[in-house]
Amino acid sequence: MKRSLFMSLVVAALACALALPLYAAPAKKAPDADITFKAPEGMKMTKSLVKFPHKKHAEVKCADCHHKKVGANEYAKCDSKGCHDNVTAKQGKDSYYAAFHGNTAKSCVGCHKAKKAEKPNVPTACDKCHPKA
């Protein structure tokens, strides 16, 4: 009886020791390089592409913008199937345009407008994110 209890405890401890690194894995850090947002296939662009400085947004939690996970520390892109994959609508939860320009806290424009009082230099004008080419 004591031997089987001891062996069970050893196996349980070993299983915990092997599983611990999976749970203690560090969160994925945002890339240091800027990302250029390009319109998904089928979407007509009327303004210049946006360069997104990930490093300037380091204090923002990934989940504040990305709401759909695809892995432990991986988030879906906005144009992923079933997310914001409607490239023709200007409004709605599935609208690619609204994901960036909507008045919600998760959109770029909505977040920037909300932060304007505490950070006056946060861009809210179109040409600040979409510079003239």
- Flag whether the pTM goes above 0.85: no
Would the pLDDT of 26 be above 80?
no
For the stretch 65-70, contacts whose Cβ atoms lie closer than 8 Å and that sit 24 or more positions apart, written own/partner, are 65/106, 65/111, 67/106
Q: What is the pLDDT of residue 56?
A: 86
Please state the domain extents for the chain: 30-129
Give residue 32's pLDDT band: very low, low, confident or very high (50, 70, 90).
low
CATH 3.30.70.3270 fits 30-129, yes or no: no
3-state secondary structure of 71: coil
Percent of the chain with pLDDT over 90: 29
**CA-wise closest residue to 68 among 48, 91, 92, 93:** 93
Task: Give the pLDDT confidence of 3-20 residue by residue, as tens digits.
Answer: 776 666 666 666 656 655
Write the CB contacts of 94 (distance below 8 Å, at least 6 apart in sequence): 83, 84, 85, 86
**What is the H or E stretch that residue 37 is in?**
strand 35-37
